[in-house]
């Protein structure tokens, strides 16, 4: 395990350096980019190694795994991000342990979160997931669906919509990913002016291990990185 811990710390340092280089290449301040360490591939020990190395924001894509890790004493100091699909019947258990939900993909889900956040008196931050690639029919809203949802943001009292999230096309390669990221940035810039007053979609959650540098160049403020942080670690 000692070897794995060192390897995770080294991976993290190398990734932070690459984030800084990508940010500097487009004259952005690297501190504008938040790293979410995606721990879905590993158990509590490896996740704790990542946390101890200084990655305090951790992401899980399955609610159950997030609940389990959030209950673990070794991971008590983490801030948890749910990055995968959330069913409405799992909202109640998720809200008390989550810092941000990146994957709100329908008005129905948004309303369920508002209802629960109100009952639990638990202010909740969310991102609206957009399907920019077209090759993942199930995940994320179309840009039209996003636009239709915008007026409802005025009715939220316990939920803050802080920005947009997307996943790039897996099939398309780097050029297509770059286009997907540029599209999300453009969509955000356009819909910002259509938002009810007080709503600031400042966050863009985009970029994974294969494509985070392109995402940063396109304006990402949150990169969600998993496999690259656990490279060389036997799981
Ligand atoms: C798994 C996952 C990631 C991390 O992917 P890597 O390619 O391993 O960095 C990021 N975002 C979401 C939504 C994921 O499900």
pTM flag (> 0.75): yes
Q: What's the pLDDT tens digit per position in 118-161? A: 999 999 999 999 998 877 666 899 999 999 999 999 999 999 99
- Residue 61 Cα, ligand 1 centroid: separation in angstroms? 8
With respect to residue 36, please indicate whether it lies within any of the assigned structural domains: no
With respect to residue 106, please indicate whether it lies within any of the assigned structural domains: yes
> How many domains does the chain divide into?
1
Report how far residue 88's alpha carbon sits from residue 160's, in angstroms, rounded to the nearest whole number. Answer: 18
With respect to residue 184, please indicate whether it lies within any of the assigned structural domains: yes
- Residues 91-109 have a mean pLDDT of 98
- Residue 151 Cα, ligand 1 centroid: separation in angstroms? 30
Report how far residue 69's alpha carbon sits from residue 80's, in angstroms, rounded to the nearest whole number. Answer: 9
Domain that holds residue 63: 58-71+79-225
Please tell me the residue having the least CA distance from ligand 1 atom 7: 209
With respect to residue 159, please indicate whether it lies within any of the assigned structural domains: yes
Please tell me the residue having the least CA distance from ligand 1 atom 6: 226
Q: What's the pLDDT tens digit per position in 194-219? A: 999 999 999 999 999 999 999 999 99
Report how far residue 148's alpha carbon sits from residue 130's, in angstroms, rounded to the nearest whole number. Answer: 13
- Residue 203 Cα, ligand 1 centroid: separation in angstroms? 17
Predicted local distance difference test score (pLDDT) of residue 172: 82
Element (DSSP H or E) covering residue 17: helix 2-25
Share of the chain above pLDDT 90, in %: 91
Predicted local distance difference test score (pLDDT) of residue 202: 98
Q: What's the pLDDT tens digit per position in 24-37? A: 999 999 999 999 99
* CATH number for the domain harbouring residue 108: 3.20.20.10
End-to-end CA distance of the chain: 10
């Amino acid at each position: 395990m000692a070897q794995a811990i060192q390897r995770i710390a080294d991976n993290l340092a190398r990734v932070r350096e690459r984030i800084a280089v990508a940010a500097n290449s487009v004259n952005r301040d690297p501190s504008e980019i938040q790293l979410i360490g995606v721990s879905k591939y590993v158990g509590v020990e490896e996740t704790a190694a990542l946390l101890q190395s200084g990655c305090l924001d951790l992401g899980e894509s399955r609610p159950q795994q997030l609940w389990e890790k959030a209950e673990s004493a070794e991971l008590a100091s983490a801030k948890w991000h749910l990055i995968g699909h959330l069913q409405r019947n799992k909202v109640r258990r998720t809200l008390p342990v989550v810092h941000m939900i990146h994957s709100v993909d329908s008005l129905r889900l948004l309303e369920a979160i508002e209802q629960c956040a109100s009952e639990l008196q638990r202010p909740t931050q969310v991102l609206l997931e957009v399907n920019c690639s077209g090759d993942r029919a199930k995940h994320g809203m179309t840009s039209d669906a996003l636009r239709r949802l915008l007026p409802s943001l005025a009715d939220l009292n316990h939920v803050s919509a802080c920005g947009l999230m997307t996943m790039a096309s897996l099939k398309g390669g780097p050029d297509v990913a770059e286009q997907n990221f540029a599209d999300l940035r453009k969509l955000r810039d356009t819909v910002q002016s259509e938002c009810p007053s007080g709503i600031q979609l400042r966050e863009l959650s985009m970029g994974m291990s294969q494509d985070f540098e392109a995402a940063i160049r396109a304006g990402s403020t949150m990169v969600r990185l998993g496999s690259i942080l656990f490279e060389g670690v036997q799981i």
